Amino acid sequence: MKHGLTGWVQNTNENVRVRVTGKADDISGFLVSLETEAPPAAMIENIRTKEVEPEKFPFFQILKSHDVSDDVTEISPDIAVCHECMEDIEKEGNRLNYAFVNCTNCGPRFTIIRDLPYDRAKTTMKDFPMCPECLEEYENISDRRFHAQPTACARCGPRYELFEKGEKVSDKMDVITGHVSQCISNGGNLLVKGLGGMHLACDAFNYAAVENLRAVKKRDGKPFAVMFRDLETLKLYAGVNEAEEQSLLSWRRPIVLLEMKSNDDLPPVSKCINAGLNLLGVMLPYMPIHHLLFSRLKTAAIVLTSGNFSNEPILIGNREALDRFSSCTDAVLLHNRDIQNRTDDSVVRVMDGKERIMRRSRGYAPAPVRTNMNMEGILAFGAELTNCFCIGKGKKAFLSQHIGDLQGFETTLFYEQTLAQFLKLFRVNPTLLAADLHPDYISTKTAKNFGNLPLVSVQHHHAHIAACMTEHHLDEKVIGVALDGTGLGDDGHTWGSEFLLCDLGQYTRMTHFDYVPMPGGDLAAGEPWRMAVSFLYKVYGNGFTTLKLDFLKNLEAEKTSLIIRMIDRGINCPLTCGAGRMFDAVSSLLGLCHIATFQAEGPMRLEAQVQKSCLDSYPFSIGKTICFDATIRGIVDDLIRNSDIKIIASKFHNTIVSAIFEAVNAIRAREGINKVVLSGGVFQNKYMLEGTISLLKRHDFEVYAHAAIPTNDGGIALGQLAVASKRRENKCV
Ligand code: ZN
Ligand code: ZN
Ligand code: FE
């Protein structure tokens, strides 16, 4: 012990206890070190000290974990490789160029854990008995690898193997990196097995290679993530502020959404990566294999996107990888350690100076969300799209890793398996279930078939607000503003612009945007032009067809009249007030996106046009509901006048921000409540979030928005859990 103290340390399910004997100065030095020298992934909530009768100890020792068996519950997320391990890779010895180095400060965790307590025998490292040298380090209390469960070296640990056309090429790292470098330089692509699943990779600067990759994935236009060689290189291509740099370099190593710079001296990152948008999902190497590959790659950045076919979860099995990807990729790079828990790369965006999680998976899950409520035994099934589920244990909520859209068979299977795995891992026996109000969601159906347990149905937007409240430990009446695409309302219509007066148990819907028909139902969500027609028809009636709009010139008259007939007769035209649908409509009117090739493409293209310098907005009116007819008229007039699209987009955003403020202000005036909670997918839009927060704060509102929990439907399950808990507490279930 550096401070010359004797005593012991012990892990319990509640906390870590340390008992030390020594000189007063040494003890205070030790207390400082506890905080300043904690490993990067350690989270110290607080340190409490107590003076006790001095006791003589012969040395300092680690006592066996005091597991009150069923209560050992926390699992660390996976941790990016640390600097010291990277140094080990460059040294001679058993770890030279070895792709699976790790230590107590870094390496795989959740992705390899089969059961608790966390112990090598209960991980997928079980198949790799330690060699004498690794064992010695593992048992040496002063070694960096003391009790590092996945510790390994080239002699005893897992290995990579490269396959081409289904045939094994080599398991020697220098041969592998040579082949991969050649493959990428030649514009090829490959499948690489990582921590939580497979990735597909190619040169990010090679247009043809990226297009090929898209074809391999059979993927729509959804942007790919890019891994840059290092931060310095990345900074040449993207603007990086301090908070963004922190996220990029954190041990969690998420994908960070960044604005790309236009730099004439450098080749542009291939436009087809992110559908020509300015926003790019970027990450830095986080596994030793990434560093090893980059040491030979000539390119500054590679596309690194989840290895799967569209609508399927990220692939984890070696057999399947070879069977399905040998013929459609140039190479397949696999390792022989099983992936127990599938995790995608996480996605964050820094907004209003804070990291906001948009997809919570590797590096974040399954760390618990700490609450002040009794969550015990509650299982919340989540939403339909961007699903995560959540289980309650004591006061903790364990939100699952990102599962995905519960639409295909494979994803549904992943959902069911992960549910079972979480209940087993965290030893939860559900006694109460919570699900969305929508009866047709696969998550709701799964809840209904789960067993004969009481089920709490939670309205989608109430769940959104409850999720944000739980994140901020709010348990009181607040004004909730939930803006998103869709969610079933309790009047049977499709909601999505909800101003709620609510607490965790109950809500009253105070106001919302006007309803408009959604021609074609769900189809309208993928085809913004339908919403544009619907809004025009609402505002101008039949006369809209004579407006001098480019939008109408490009539209087949037949299609338009079909939509009008559908609306008039109410055929497959559910009513929606989803804010997302309005962003879609405006995006289409401005010619930015008529048919979406990925989720939220219309709103993203619209946001990309916004200019911060524009402060103008359009008129709107607030009665019983919020009416944007005047806004649509203003946009149409501007379009006819040939105004700059950027200005129109900015004015539209400003209008929605003002409308939020006016509506919230009216509720405060009547109810005397000052806390505003923002949630829903619309707040993934940086301009919307920052604009709304700043306007509300200027008028002395206390504003709460998501940071650690996704504001999109990935956060819904936490809200469902909280609502169920509160209703149980109030004896309403
Ligand atoms: Zn390490
Ligand atoms: Zn070894
Ligand atoms: Fe939602």
Tell me which amino acid residue 435 is.
A
Ligand nearest to the CA of 706: 3
Q: What are phi and psi for residue 191, nearest 5 degrees? A: -100, 130
Q: Is the pLDDT of residue 70 over 60?
A: no
Would you state the pLDDT for residue 59? 87
437 alpha carbon – ligand 3 mean position (Å)? 12
136 alpha carbon – ligand 2 mean position (Å)? 9
Q: Considering the chain, what percentage of its residues have pLDDT values greater than 70?
A: 98
Contact 597, 220 (CB under 8 A): yes
Q: Is the pLDDT of residue 188 over 70?
A: yes
Q: Is the pLDDT of residue 404 over 60?
A: yes
Contact 513, 577 (CB under 8 A): yes
Choose the weakest-confidence range: 116-120, 173-177, 317-321, 426-430: 116-120
Would you state the pLDDT for residue 34? 86
34 alpha carbon – ligand 2 mean position (Å)? 30
587 alpha carbon – ligand 3 mean position (Å)? 20
In Å, what is the CA distance from 272 to each residue of 236, 601, 605? 20, 14, 14
The Cα–Cα gap between 534 and 541 comes to 10
104 alpha carbon – ligand 2 mean position (Å)? 15
Place of tokens 């101003």: 499
714 alpha carbon – ligand 1 mean position (Å)? 31
Q: What confidence tens digit (pLDDT) does each residue in 323-351 have?
A: 999 999 999 999 999 999 999 999 999 99
Q: What confidence tens digit (pLDDT) does each residue in 253-274 have?
A: 999 999 998 877 888 888 889 9
124 alpha carbon – ligand 3 mean position (Å)? 36
> Which residues partner with 498 through β-bridges?
482, 512
Q: Is the pLDDT of residue 67 over 90?
A: no
Ligand nearest to the CA of 79: 1
Contact 700, 688 (CB under 8 A): no
Would you state the pLDDT for residue 390? 98
108 alpha carbon – ligand 3 mean position (Å)? 32
Q: Is the pLDDT of residue 214 over 60?
A: yes
98 alpha carbon – ligand 2 mean position (Å)? 11
Would you state the pLDDT for residue 502? 98
**Mean pLDDT score of the chain:** 95
The tokens of 95 are what? 């770890």
Tell me which amino acid residue 27 is.
I
Ligand nearest to the CA of 148: 1
Ligand nearest to the CA of 487: 3
367 alpha carbon – ligand 1 mean position (Å)? 20
133 alpha carbon – ligand 2 mean position (Å)? 6
307 alpha carbon – ligand 3 mean position (Å)? 27
584 alpha carbon – ligand 3 mean position (Å)? 15
334 alpha carbon – ligand 2 mean position (Å)? 20
536 alpha carbon – ligand 3 mean position (Å)? 25
Q: What confidence tens digit (pLDDT) does each residue in 436-479 have?
A: 999 999 999 999 999 899 999 999 999 999 999 999 999 999 99
Comparing CA positions, the residue from 480, 497, 514, 461 lying closest to residue 664 is 480
231 alpha carbon – ligand 1 mean position (Å)? 20
Would you state the pLDDT for residue 140? 93
The Cα–Cα gap between 109 and 641 comes to 59
Comparing CA positions, the residue from 586, 672, 669 lying closest to residue 622 is 669
697 alpha carbon – ligand 1 mean position (Å)? 43
Q: How many CB atoms lie within 10 A of CB 506?
A: 15
Q: What confidence tens digit (pLDDT) does each residue in 8-36 have?
A: 888 776 678 889 998 989 988 888 888 88
The predicted model scores a pTM of 0.95
Q: What confidence tens digit (pLDDT) does each residue in 474-522 have?
A: 999 999 999 999 999 999 999 999 999 999 999 999 999 999 999 999 9
86 alpha carbon – ligand 2 mean position (Å)? 16
105 alpha carbon – ligand 1 mean position (Å)? 5
Would you state the pLDDT for residue 72? 60
345 alpha carbon – ligand 1 mean position (Å)? 20
85 alpha carbon – ligand 2 mean position (Å)? 14
Ligand nearest to the CA of 461: 3
Contact 79, 109 (CB under 8 A): yes
151 alpha carbon – ligand 1 mean position (Å)? 9
- Mapped to the 3 state alphabet, what secondary structure does 150-192 carry? CCCCCCCCCCEEEEECCEEEECCHHHHHHHHHHHHHCCCEEEE
Ligand nearest to the CA of 387: 3
632 alpha carbon – ligand 3 mean position (Å)? 24
Q: In the chain, what are the domains?
A: 6-66 (3.30.70.100), 160-335 (3.90.870.10), 516-705 (3.30.420.40)
139 alpha carbon – ligand 2 mean position (Å)? 13
Confidence grade of residue 75 (pLDDT, cut at 50, 70, 90): very high
The tokens of 455 are what? 């089920």
Confidence grade of residue 400 (pLDDT, cut at 50, 70, 90): very high
12 alpha carbon – ligand 1 mean position (Å)? 24
Ligand nearest to the CA of 386: 3
Left if phi > 0, otherwise alpha if psi is -120 to 50, otherwise beta: which for 286? alpha
The Cα–Cα gap between 245 and 630 comes to 42
251 alpha carbon – ligand 2 mean position (Å)? 24
712 alpha carbon – ligand 3 mean position (Å)? 6
295 alpha carbon – ligand 2 mean position (Å)? 24
Ligand nearest to the CA of 287: 1
123 alpha carbon – ligand 1 mean position (Å)? 18
462-477 exposure pattern, b = at least 16 Cβ within 10 A, e = fewer: bbbbbbbbbbbebbeb
Q: How many CB atoms lie within 10 A of CB 659?
A: 24
101 alpha carbon – ligand 2 mean position (Å)? 10
- Helix, strand or coil for residue 331? strand
